[in-house]
Structure 1
Amino acid sequence: MAVAESPPQGNNLNSVTFINNTTGFAAGDVGMIMKTTDSGESWSIQKSGTYNRLASVDFTDQQSIGYAVGNNGTILKTTNGGVTWIDRPFNNNEFYYSVNFPSDDQTGYLTGISSTDTLGFIYKTVNGGDSWFPLNAGINGLFNEAEFPENSNTGFVCGRDYSNVNPIILKTTDGGNTWTNQSQGLTGTFNSMSFPQNSQTGYVTGYPGKIYKTTNGGVNWISQLSGSNAQFYSIEFPENDQTGVAVGTFGYYMRTTNGGVNWTGYSVTDPNNNFMYSVSFSNSNTGIAAGMIGALLKTTDSGFTWNSLKKGSNKWTESVCFPVNSQTGYVCGSGMIMKTTNGGEEWIPQSADGNTVMFREILFPFDNETGYVVGGTGRIFKTIDGGQNWVRQIVFVGAELMDIDFPVNANTGYISGDRVILKTTNGGNNWEQLSPPSIWLNAVSFPSDNETGYVAGESGSSGRIYKTTNGGTNWLQQTTEIVTGLVDVSFPFDVQNGYAVEWAGKILKTTNGGTNWSSYQSGVNTYGICFPNNNQIGYATGGSYGASYLLKTTNAGESWNKLNTSYNNQLTSVCFPFNNDTGYIVGVTGAILKTVDGGGFTDVYSVSEFIPEKYFLSQNYPNPFNPVTNLEFGISKSGFVSLKIYDVLGRELVTLVNESKQPGYYKIKFDAGNLSSGVYFYRLVVSSPNPMNADDFVAVKKFVVLK
């Protein structure tokens, strides 16, 4: 059965490497590992089995054996080209920055730092990662990268000292038994090295704008560049010591074609100007740069120009709801509305107003068919067919709209926004402006009837809560302690027991209808709150860039525990629709996180670029194989999709797909257990919905079953 595979998501990509002209890997935050078999044109997500940050990925000369390392002692190993990754943790108190297997699959090096005493280290293995032992570097510092250009004996390590001022370059010629400090007289801090052909000629780069070159194995390092304040995270010379690229902050990179005599600075065309953390070339012309929020850029002219592969996302997902069952749900955010009908396994784009509005809240109050989405300047859209069509509701309001609530029936609803409260009594056909408090109102909640409700927001730096008991005609400010802006308010079950969330970290609680409010300081920024089906167990989103959390209470908000999501960006909204176990969180970079056990996140999806720019059929992997392989394809328009297996005589053997498909990325596992060893072909045909048109796309590739 075909499963739509999200394209690479909006988490940072920290490392990229190519093992031949077409096959490469990228690794990043939240345990992200991706693989390409067509020089970076398309990428598939590998199941890493971890949500820890991965900082480095490297493959041995065997090409099928690779390692990915990162936070909390994570060392992953694959022996089948990335099909499966096995976690072989070494020390949970350590963060690993780089891994390098220079010449065989047995001897490798690992650099990193201890999270307990911030001491840097270099480890070595001589048995393929089964065990690691420490090397005495002779100096304390942070070691960012290890590079062994020719063999496992002669290598270099670069980094910085603990003052974050002085650079470190160490060299060994005896496999790490002894190290020589080569950084005397140098300035800056170093992040990356490249020795393109041998251990004599190499380059090192870092901050601020530093690039040094050696032509005598590190005895002397000559400054190649000064006067730039950029931070360069990665440097690569593809096939010789003349043409090279250094990539870094805000999409800025420098390039030389004469061995560093001259460097010219450029900015990539990526509109987000994302940081680029790693660069790798598959040959002298073709390279990939990876970076912040999932950015992937490709060059085919030796790094002179770079084009975004549009795999990252600067979208925000703002709101999520599952109206009546655990299968059908909706999310909205910056320029998009998405729908799932299989519990979040696939998310299909929907359209409203050309997908240009920052939608803040989506609500299907009573069924899966009739819903509303609000946001932007006076934008209200309604659907009565489960999101197939969204019709704009006409309101003459020039204010930003933030939240919507329909408390007890499909007729009466409320919307809050920038100094505005709107009310409808006829299912959204008409909206009247009430007399609101003159503040920015982020949230509205009418718990159990159309008369008693609450709004929360901010005036300047002060957070405020207001209450009405007459359907919004009058609003009375509630007395709370001094708080900053309030971003959410919820009375989940009755008008007496409610909660409000302050973005600076306080969670407020009332048990008497807002007359009094107590507070709990969570210690992290908070944005949304949800109590699924009782007043005891509840959830709130927390954190910011660098670390995000799900906060959970089991005692009605008296205390809250932080659950680490291993997601490194802000989370904005939380929804546990029917029980305390299955829930969803959405946030910046288009993240959609799912848990099925009340806080342990098993799936991470991304609203990146859901629709490929063109049709494609990727080469299967692994290939040759026995008996299971992966087939991937993408379609840019809806159509009837056929994917079939044929033998060398052209006889049809297996039908894998034969149905209509939405635009998206798809991945299929094919089990060839019933096929004999030999060469076979797989053919993808995408046909236009109009039977009078010719096939939109046809592609054929071959694979080998080897038993």
Structure 2
Amino acid sequence: MSAGYYETTDLENWTPFLPSTTNGKSPERVTAIAATPDGTTYTIDGLAGMVKKTGNEFTQLPIPPLQGISGMEDLITTKAAGLFYLNFSAGVTQFLNGKWISHNSALQDRRLLCLAKDNKERIWTITDNGAVWCFENNQWTSQPHIPFWNELVGMAFDKDDNAYAYGNWGVVLLNRSKGEWEVVRPLFDKSIQKIIFDEQNRMWLVMYRWPVVAGDDFPQFGLLRYANGKVNAYTEGLNFLREPFDIEFFKDQLLVLTTGGELHTFNERQILTFEPEATYPTGAPITVKLSTNSAFDPDNRVAIQLNNQTTGARITIHQTTVNGHSVTFALPDTLRGGQYTINLLTTAPEIMSNESRPFRVAPNGSPINEQPNEVVLLQNIPNPATGPTEIAFYLPQAAGARLDLFNDRGQFLKQLGNAAFPRGWNFVQTDLTSLRSGVYVYRLTTGDVVKSLKLIH
């Protein structure tokens, strides 16, 4: 980066740290940058030195030993062992107690290909002959030799501290019990440029080969997700993936930053677009839109999951019609009335979409499909009820209404609803779990109208 750096806490407001905004205190040319959990930032200017920023205070620190600069370089912070810096010409140096310590001799003066930190704050590196080293308790220990060091890009560690290495040939996993690196077969022959892990310990990968190699049989740019032995590929559907890019998690959001300066948030589940009507009769066809933040395989199948908001029941409808980005399905004739939401379920890639806004389902012949001219109170559903149940009533005009529950002796038990309700059908949910089994009465009062019905628990 040729002109400082920027910080943000919300992705909306960015604070520039440039020589022009810090009275020359921040570096002009950033070749490496790292930050600690408390917000302390370290930047290395390949021409001037290292700067530590704590709050608004800038401290100039000794320059690391350099033997040439090759673009952005690796800088890692640790809690107890200070900083580790990889200059691809000068090797690994450690900044501790105000001075730089070279580790080249311990690493046999080999050229180092990458630098990484695991969850136990151990430092790992791989040399240009496939030797793997781990720094712990102030010493380097040799690890199983990696057979794939040519075109190696880096290392990554999942939440369980499993070690992965990756490059233009794919991904390998260190099998500690066998003392060897094993190929992750579903990712073999993929050109991987970065790996990170989300809170569910799923692997996210940057895939591209740059410059383009003639004859590649996979997309030039792609965002991959790997979990449970299966790869989800997000390629053509992400139309901004047309140049090299980087990924990182920020407050549980996956960020995609392209070399052209575009910053995107990515949510694999945000593929459903549906503005439901208030009520649908059973048997009615419904059409939703399948958005394209993913490239779906030709054999991708789409199902609908119906979620009953009262009972928690889920129903999967596999009989759907896909036409372009439109997915049409019919509400089952046997579907119980109530309030529902839907999710889209896709198979290639495997995604459960975002959840829709709720809508009402009324069985054919149900009064809910009608618009009467008077106040109507319906039988609760389900009845008998063992737990959650729903009560529907109709108001011919907007009005205040109160719904109360009584026992079979007419004693008031609790208020189920008391508010200004709009014209039309209104629905109140209540949970009877805490009540004894028996017969109860619920009563609707609105203006001069009073209506009551019995329910069984």
More strand as a share of residues = 2
Which structure would you say has the larger RCO, counting Cα contacts within 8 Å and 6 or more residues apart? 1
Larger Rg: 2
